[in-house]
Amino acid sequence: MSLNIRIASQLIAAFIVCLGTAGVGRAAPPGDEPLPRPAFRYTGADLCVKCHRSEQGEWCDVATTAAWRHDAHSRSHEALSSDNERTRAMEVALGIKAAATASCVACHTHPVDEPAVDEETNVLHAGISCETCHGAGSGYLDPHMQKSWRFLSSAEKEAFGMHDLRNPVAKAKNCLSCHLGEVATNRIITHQMYAAGHPPLPAFEMEAFGAGMGRHWKRVWEKSPQIQEQAAKAGYETEGACELSRSLVGSLVALQESVHLARDYAAAAETNAKDRPWPELAVYDCQACHHVLAVPSWRQEAGYGQLVPGRPSLVRWPRRLAAVAFEQAGMATDVDALLSPVVGVLNSRPFGTADGLRRVAEDSGREIDQAIEALVRWRRDETLADRERVAIEQILASGQNVGDFESARLLAWGLIHGLSSNADWPEDVRARKIAELTALLALEFPTPAYPSPPAQEKPFWQTSLAAAPATDIGRVRAAFELPSAARKPAPTVIEVIPTPR
């Protein structure tokens, strides 16, 4: 009883804190304003490890710690050390100290300028650890060990500082804040940093990357019926129905965030041109410029859409999968049309203007939210296989005229999620297709998924465009062919029209 009162009082306190800081994280004014301070303190991964290291029962039943130790995130802080050869070269080229540079620290570990960081807990030496994603632990450390915790809704848990990573939108935003960039939290990788040697950020698909880092969680639908029931009561249906639907949501969030990144950067440039000079090339599509000049040229073949040839576009890779997502949401939204105001600004001069991008970038939001809402409503019922099959066919069709490699990779990851769970095609056909795409588009991850032992060390960035067979888009397109004939007979819900003889 006293415990429940304690939780309740903490809840109330947390809500008050939340109200006080509402909106700060989203729309922080860029420039000289201090970064938003989290309401909670990092307690350090050491405390998490005490419980999440072995079989402890349903809610922490994966050997999380062991999985995380395999995870490249656990070593991300090593990149801040000058002992690292690449880091040293970058430090020399840029005239900086990585460990003392806010934008390096922002993604490679917890930010150092937070007064709440406790030296003793070794937070700085744990890379991207539990709390980076799940939220600073001081508020929820005790409460989440209580039995009643599982009955709280995600909003209630958020009040304690724990983020809801089952929600695909929240998770995508969380991952993309580093894997794409986020101005408000200083998670900015600049073109200068890339040029000095930072590996390129490849197309990001949260479910594949999640599996690639070594999954240390279970889906609600993989847990026991009893837990599923409890989760349903707590409102965890937002998790989505399958990896594919989450992947589609992720592409929409990535599309949105890529535009927001440009918008926020443009706003920052307008108020603080000294620290945030315009244009920052890192908010544009890497492959717009960085492609080998070859004959024949896949870049030439891909065309320019509404862009004036030779003008850099914003990040392109989310667009094709997002187009599938809109179709799946039953919307007629054309991604090119959605982004045409942005393209208009980009055509007005190479890289566009800060003022223009800042003003036009907001228009896409409503339709994207609407599509996400529809996709999150997918349920694990008898309609799921049908939905998946249609999405798979759409991805295959899109892949057969894909123009660039990063877009192809995102489509391929989406396709693989679909084929992994959908049994409409024979298992050997699916396995072959998955293997083919994985090899062709360098989709495998260097860190073997737990519980496989760490094999040869391959740098993470080799899963990027550098490793893709960068000239033969024709082969990539061909790999998206999966004849419907190979499909098993359609289930009875679909009326089969007999072929006329």
Partner 1 sequence: MEAFAAALVALVTIACSAAESPSAPCAICPPGAVGPAGHAAEGISAGIYPGMQPDPLANGLGVSSCGTVSCHGGPKAGNHDVQSFAFTIWMNDDPHSRAYEVLHEPRSQRMARLLGLGEAHRARECLACHSMQNESRGPLPPEVLADGVGCGSCHGDSTQWQQIHYLPDWKRLSIAEREALGYRDLGSVTTRVNNCIPCHVGDASQEVNHDLIAAGHPRLSFEFAAYQRLWPRHWTPSGKVESQPDFTARSWALGQAATLEAVAKLLEVRAERATADLAAERPHRWPEFAEFDCYACHKALGPRSYTAAHAGGFQNPFPGQPSWQPWYVSASRLLDVAAATTTVPGTRAVGASAVDIRRVLEPDWSVTDKERLDRVLLEARGLARAARQATRELESRDRIVLDVSHDRLDALVADAPPEWRFWDAAVQTLLVMEAAGGGPARIGVWRSDQRQAATADTRQALEELRDSLRFPPGADSPQGFSPVRFNRDRVAVPLPEAVRP
State yes or no: residue 278 binds partner 1 (CB under 8 A): yes
Run of H or E including 360: helix 354-360
Within 13 A of 266's CA, how many CA atoms are on the CB side?
A: 24
3-state SS, residue 181: coil
Comparing CA positions, the residue from 202, 219, 441, 203 lying closest to residue 321 is 203
Task: Pick the closer one to partner 1 by CB: 234 or 466.
Answer: 466
Number of residues that bind partner 1 (CB under 8 A): 44
State yes or no: residue 92 binds partner 1 (CB under 8 A): yes
List the alpha helices (DSSP H) in 198-242. Answer: 206-212, 225-233
Least distance between partner 1 and beta carbon 292 (Å): 5
Distance in angstroms (rounded) separating the CA atoms of residues 73 and 212: 11
Task: Pick the closer one to partner 1 by CB: 303 or 483.
Answer: 303
Part of the chain binding partner 1 (CB under 8 A), chosen from 113-121, 153-161, 305-313, 422-430 = 305-313
State yes or no: residue 286 binds partner 1 (CB under 8 A): yes
Angle at Cα 88 formed by Cα 85 and Cα 90, nearest 5°?
110
Expressed in angstroms, the distance from the first to the final Cα of the chain is 75
Angle at Cα 343 formed by Cα 341 and Cα 345, nearest 5°?
75
By residue count, the chain amounts to: 501
Site string for partner 1, 224-253 (x = CB under 8 A): ------------------------------
State yes or no: residue 304 binds partner 1 (CB under 8 A): yes
Please, which residues have CB within 8 angstroms of residue 341's CB and are 6 or more apart in sequence? 360, 363
State yes or no: residue 456 binds partner 1 (CB under 8 A): no
Please, which residues have CB within 8 angstroms of residue 40's CB and are 6 or more apart in sequence? 116, 135, 136, 137, 138, 139, 140, 160, 161
Part of the chain binding partner 1 (CB under 8 A), chosen from 62-70, 330-338, 343-351, 387-395 = 343-351
Please, which residues have CB within 8 angstroms of residue 74's CB and are 6 or more apart in sequence? 68, 126, 127, 128, 129
Run of H or E including 322: helix 318-328
Site string for partner 1, 159-198 (x = CB under 8 A): -------------------------------xxxxxxxx-
Task: Pick the closer one to partner 1 by CB: 266 or 465.
Answer: 465
State yes or no: residue 82 binds partner 1 (CB under 8 A): no
State yes or no: residue 467 binds partner 1 (CB under 8 A): yes
State yes or no: residue 340 binds partner 1 (CB under 8 A): no
Least distance between partner 1 and beta carbon 406 (Å): 11
State yes or no: residue 471 binds partner 1 (CB under 8 A): yes
Which of 225, 310, 489, 500 lies at the binding interface for partner 1 (CB under 8 A)?
A: 310
Task: Pick the closer one to partner 1 by CB: 454 or 469.
Answer: 469
Distance in angstroms (rounded) separating the CA atoms of residues 177 and 228: 30
Least distance between partner 1 and beta carbon 441 (Å): 15
Part of the chain binding partner 1 (CB under 8 A), chosen from 135-143, 218-226, 235-243, 344-352 = 344-352
Part of the chain binding partner 1 (CB under 8 A), chosen from 127-135, 154-162, 285-293, 368-376 = 285-293
Task: Pick the closer one to partner 1 by CB: 10 or 192.
Answer: 192
Distance in angstroms (rounded) separating the CA atoms of residues 148 and 144: 8
State yes or no: residue 474 binds partner 1 (CB under 8 A): no
Residue that is written with structure tokens 């991207």 in the block: 128
Angle at Cα 194 formed by Cα 192 and Cα 195, nearest 5°?
65
Part of the chain binding partner 1 (CB under 8 A), chosen from 121-129, 341-349, 385-393, 445-453 = 341-349
Distance in angstroms (rounded) separating the CA atoms of residues 141 and 160: 9
Least distance between partner 1 and beta carbon 355 (Å): 10
**Number of CB atoms found within 10 A of residue 200's CB:** 15
Longest dimension (CA), the chain: 79
> Which DSSP category does 133 fall into?
H
State yes or no: residue 150 binds partner 1 (CB under 8 A): no
State yes or no: residue 85 binds partner 1 (CB under 8 A): no
Which spans of this chain sit near partner 1 (rule: CB under 8 A)?
Answer: 89, 92-94, 190-197, 200, 277-279, 281, 286, 289-295, 297, 300, 303-304, 308-311, 347-351, 464-467, 470-471
